[in-house]
Homo-oligomer: A and B are copies of this chain.
Amino acid sequence: MNTLQEKQKTLKALWEPRSIAVVGASRRPETVGYAVLSNLVNGGFKGSIFPVNPKADTIAGLKCYPALENVPGPVDLAVIIVPAGGVADVLRTCAVKGAGAAVVISAGFREVGPEGARLEKEILALARQAGLALLGPNCLGHINTDPEVMLNASFSRTMPRAGNIAFVSQSGALCAAILDYAKGKNIGFSKFVSLGNKADIHELDMLRYLKDDPETDVILMYLEDLVNGRAFIEMAREITGEMAPSKPILVIKSGRTPQGAQAASSHTGSLMGSDEVYDAIFSQAGVLRVDSVEEMFHFAVGFANQPVPRGKSVAIVTNAGGPGIMATDACVRYGLEMAKFSSVTTAKLRAALPATASVANPIDVIGDARHGRYEAALAAAFEDPAVDSVLVILTPQAMTDIEEIARVIVEADQKYDKPVFAAFMGIVDVSAGARILEEHHVPLYTFPEEAARTLGAMARYKDWTDRPRTEVKNFPADKEKTREILGSALQSRRYFLTPDQSMEVFKAYGFLVLPFGLAGSEAEAAAHALRIGYPVALKIVSPEIIHKFDVGGVSLGIADEEALRAAYRKMMRSIAGQSGHYRIDGIFVQAMAARGWEVILGMKRDPHFGPILMFGLGGIYVEALKDVTFRLAPVREFGARRMIESIKAYALLKGVRGQKPSDITAILEALERLSQLACDFPAISEIDINPLMVYGESQGAALADARIILNPTEER
């Protein structure tokens, strides 16, 4: 199987088989072969099940076959639990039987070393050859709760209830934990799959399938890596934003721990850890990245059961003042706003509630409230046009009729189309009420903070789906000239472009480059400076000198010709005084950039994900404050704008305390041009523009210093 279309076709055999062979089925409880077979049988699979085991006649009441070839009739799906060494043979038979998919639950492949990796390669080749979709190896299996299918081809302890959430996991053990957690929380799943080693089927295949799966409204993923970052972005963007209704995707990407910074020749490179790249990917894909399983399910329960709130304005109804304040704190912390009630709402509340109640937001129905007061407060809140969502808090006080209150919340949820969330604070006394809410799709939390955090995530998702759709711009650029410069550098094995070469490239891509010239003598330098206008900077140009500062090869802020001549001579003396002989190609003369806000723009090409752009506060601050942000190239205009707006120092660029705003548009364009340059020329491995000097509105931004580094392994 070579094309994605073919693979997709066969995922139908994986998810909706009419016949399954369990190769390696066992009668011994506590074996995986037994667990898988009994899960299939007890899960109520709607098709035929064929146990395969040479040593048994029947298992779990089903006739058992000595080998796969003995199974009568077609087999859509083979679930394979034989030792790793025997899997290839089974797959060969699968090919003969015309199976569409195989789940290799067996371990003993890539995860155990080179010999296992070889076996994995072999089974992958067999699967490809047979046009057969292969799940695993080394996985827990998969579950489809669709009542037409009822497939539990896993060795889980539990069959989950049906629901509209799909879960895709790169960890089988996590699946076990999540099924148990979901059972305790009454959370149901549409599809549940353990990817194992991802030899063939990986997260992109699953996303493509779940995109069109009518049973799935929310997609959860646990990932340890991505097979293709750019493709993930494209697929996820389609699912989260370009179809109606869109499906939110929540991802745990583990391995956040900063890796030791890799050797890198640029600021951009040294600031960029693998985790920042993943953050960039998820942010560009509209994916909500979460830090823990708990957070993932808090969010999932909200998305799966309630509409996304139309705005950020929330009303709180509570029978307890303290928790009302805590909920308010949490709402504000998670980016929501407290709704301001209309006078109509306030009047309704005043009429329905006792004098000591609070009719402002949070609405405090007071500790002795029974369900009638909750009902009145909920109606008033829902009916206020300024309210986008409602958060109901209950503490189990002496007079609190918990189940009745749960029922009025359910009724309000059914009557109004705004989302409602409940925090029933406690465990034991609130449990019966909690069950009522869970059964009627009201997202329930133990504490208001969790509800507020979920609402905040849903509001962020709303911002994403509502974002303006922009395109990747294509600026006119002199590609031919650029190709020439890079080509000649590569040909002469000069991977650090000289300042004049770099400036020519930036010029070719339409950046605002300050006038410059390359001088072969003191007199020539003076002539260049006269043409350019003082003050100027001098930089030595030598293919053999990378750290120009360290050898006295840089002189800045030269005010006049006298100073220029002195600086020129001093530089030549300093270079001559170095141990070792350097080839000098000349002296680079360039106008000094006027002072402005210093920002840094950068690009580093990742072997896995392609060109990654960086933007941040420049100068010395970039190292210390790490106020930087990343995105995969190409960026659209909206993405570039979000990069600029997301750094903390954005306030400085916008203008604080009466300072004039900077030319944000110029930065935006520079980022987009950088993106285009990076995409056009894979030979460029790193770019640093540090600093880009940004001036006032409509006054542009100038490259004060910049370097381009090529990839030594790149051919011309």
- A residues near B (Cβ < 8 Å) are 30, 32, 35, 107, 111-112, 155-158, 169-174, 176-181, 183-185, 222, 224, 252, 254-258, 291-294, 319-323, 325-326, 328-330, 332-333, 355-356, 367, 395-400, 425-430, 446-447, 449-450, 620-621, 623-625, 627, 648-649, 651-652, 656-657, 659
A332: which B residues are within 8 A, CB to CB?
256-258
Q: Please, how many angstroms separate the alpha-carbon atoms of A449 and B296 in the complex? A: 13
Residue contact B326 to A254, C-beta cutoff 8 Å: yes
25 A-B pairs (CB sep. < 8 Å): A32-B398, A155-B398, A157-B398, A169-B322, A173-B319, A173-B323, A173-B397, A174-B395, A176-B320, A176-B367, A177-B395, A180-B427, A180-B428, A183-B428, A184-B427, A255-B329, A257-B328, A257-B332, A291-B449, A292-B447, A292-B449, A620-B659, A623-B656, A625-B648, A625-B649
With contact pairs A396-B157, A430-B180 given, residues A326 and B292 touching in the complex (Cβ less than 8 Å)? yes
Residue contact B426 to A256, C-beta cutoff 8 Å: no
Q: Please, how many angstroms separate the alpha-carbon atoms of A170 and B176 in the complex? A: 41
Residue contact A620 to B171, C-beta cutoff 8 Å: no
A330: which B residues are within 8 A, CB to CB?
291-292
With contact pairs A398-B157, A652-B624 given, residues A325 and B449 touching in the complex (Cβ less than 8 Å)? no
User: How far is the CB of A326 from the nearest CB of chain B, in Å?
Assistant: 5
A430: which B residues are within 8 A, CB to CB?
180
Which residue of chain B has the shortest Cβ distance to A326 in the bound complex? B254
With contact pairs A224-B325, A330-B292 given, residues A652 and B184 touching in the complex (Cβ less than 8 Å)? no
Residue in B185, B446, B447 whose beta carbon sits within 8 Å of that of A427 in the complex: B185
Residue contact A183 to B427, C-beta cutoff 8 Å: yes
Q: Please, how many angstroms separate the alpha-carbon atoms of A439 and B192 in the complex? A: 34
Residue in B157, B256, B429, B652 whose beta carbon sits within 8 Å of that of A429 in the complex: B157
Q: Please, how many angstroms separate the alpha-carbon atoms of A659 and B326 in the complex? A: 44
Which residue of chain B has the shortest Cβ distance to A323 in the bound complex? B174
Residue contact A184 to B426, C-beta cutoff 8 Å: yes
Which residue of chain B has the shortest Cβ distance to A158 in the bound complex? B429
Task: Choose among A179, A185, A396 the residue with the greatest number of B CB atoms under 10 Å from its CB.
Answer: A396
Q: Please, how many angstroms separate the alpha-carbon atoms of A293 and B258 in the complex? A: 30
Residue contact B320 to A174, C-beta cutoff 8 Å: yes
Which residue of chain B has the shortest Cβ distance to A368 in the bound complex? B32
Q: Please, how many angstroms separate the alpha-carbon atoms of A430 and B178 in the complex? A: 12
User: How far is the CB of A520 from the nearest CB of chain B, in Å?
Assistant: 32
Which residue of chain B has the shortest Cβ distance to A29 in the bound complex? B398
Copies of this protein, total: 2
Q: Please, how many angstroms separate the alpha-carbon atoms of A395 and B172 in the complex? A: 10
Which residue of chain B has the shortest Cβ distance to A364 in the bound complex? B173
Which residue of chain B has the shortest Cβ distance to A452 in the bound complex? B292
Q: Please, how many angstroms separate the alpha-carbon atoms of A326 and B648 in the complex? A: 28
A181: which B residues are within 8 A, CB to CB?
425-427, 446
Residue in B224, B356, B428, B624 whose beta carbon sits within 8 Å of that of A322 in the complex: B224
Which residue of chain B has the shortest Cβ distance to A184 in the bound complex? B427
Task: Choose among A322, A447, A652 the residue with the greatest number of B CB atoms under 10 Å from its CB.
Answer: A322
Residue contact A177 to B257, C-beta cutoff 8 Å: no
Task: Choose among A32, A158, A427 the residue with the greatest number of B CB atoms under 10 Å from its CB.
Answer: A427
A652: which B residues are within 8 A, CB to CB?
620-621, 624-625
Q: Please, how many angstroms separate the alpha-carbon atoms of A659 and B624 in the complex? A: 11
User: How far is the CB of A251 from the nearest CB of chain B, in Å?
Assistant: 13
A254: which B residues are within 8 A, CB to CB?
322, 325-326, 329
Q: Please, how many angstroms separate the alpha-carbon atoms of A252 and B183 in the complex? A: 32
Residue contact B367 to A172, C-beta cutoff 8 Å: yes
Residue contact A623 to B657, C-beta cutoff 8 Å: yes
User: How far is the CB of A620 from the nearest CB of chain B, in Å?
Assistant: 7
With contact pairs A158-B429, A180-B426 given, residues A255 and B325 touching in the complex (Cβ less than 8 Å)? yes
With contact pairs A292-B326, A333-B256, A449-B291 given, residues A173 and B398 touching in the complex (Cβ less than 8 Å)? no
Residue contact B399 to A320, C-beta cutoff 8 Å: no
Further contacts, 8 of them, CB under 8 A, given A112-B355, A173-B321, A254-B325: A35-B398, A171-B323, A174-B425, A185-B427, A293-B326, A294-B450, A621-B652, A625-B651
Q: Please, how many angstroms separate the alpha-carbon atoms of A623 and B650 in the complex? A: 12
Q: Please, how many angstroms separate the alpha-carbon atoms of A247 and B509 in the complex? A: 64
Q: Please, how many angstroms separate the alpha-carbon atoms of A620 and B184 in the complex? A: 53
Residue contact B396 to A620, C-beta cutoff 8 Å: no
Q: Please, how many angstroms separate the alpha-carbon atoms of A367 and B627 in the complex? A: 41
A294: which B residues are within 8 A, CB to CB?
446-447, 449-450
3 tightest CB-CB pairs across the interface, nearest first? Answer: A184-B427, A171-B322, A173-B320
User: How far is the CB of A182 from the nearest CB of chain B, in Å?
Assistant: 8
Q: Please, how many angstroms separate the alpha-carbon atoms of A344 and B254 in the complex? A: 30
A171: which B residues are within 8 A, CB to CB?
320-323
User: How far is the CB of A447 from the nearest CB of chain B, in Å?
Assistant: 5
Which residue of chain B has the shortest Cβ distance to A295 in the bound complex? B449
Q: Please, how many angstroms separate the alpha-carbon atoms of A697 and B534 in the complex? A: 36
With contact pairs A180-B429, A656-B620 given, residues A173 and B322 touching in the complex (Cβ less than 8 Å)? yes
Residue in B155, B178, B322, B329 whose beta carbon sits within 8 Å of that of A222 in the complex: B322
Residue in B252, B399, B648, B649 whose beta carbon sits within 8 Å of that of A30 in the complex: B399
A623: which B residues are within 8 A, CB to CB?
651, 656-657
With contact pairs A326-B252, A427-B184, A649-B625 given, residues A397 and B620 touching in the complex (Cβ less than 8 Å)? no
Q: Please, how many angstroms separate the alpha-carbon atoms of A300 and B255 in the complex? A: 28
Q: Please, how many angstroms separate the alpha-carbon atoms of A652 and B320 in the complex? A: 46
User: How far is the CB of A527 from the nearest CB of chain B, in Å?
Assistant: 32
Q: Please, how many angstroms separate the alpha-carbon atoms of A40 and B325 in the complex? A: 31
Q: Please, how many angstroms separate the alpha-carbon atoms of A656 and B450 in the complex? A: 39
A179: which B residues are within 8 A, CB to CB?
426
Residue contact A428 to B320, C-beta cutoff 8 Å: no
User: How far is the CB of A56 from the nearest CB of chain B, in Å?
Assistant: 20
A158: which B residues are within 8 A, CB to CB?
428-429
A355: which B residues are within 8 A, CB to CB?
112
User: How far is the CB of A200 from the nearest CB of chain B, in Å?
Assistant: 20
Q: Please, how many angstroms separate the alpha-carbon atoms of A322 and B425 in the complex? A: 31
Residue contact A395 to B176, C-beta cutoff 8 Å: yes
Q: Please, how many angstroms separate the alpha-carbon atoms of A419 and B254 in the complex? A: 26
User: How far is the CB of A649 from the nearest CB of chain B, in Å?
Assistant: 6
A426: which B residues are within 8 A, CB to CB?
176-177, 179-181, 183-184
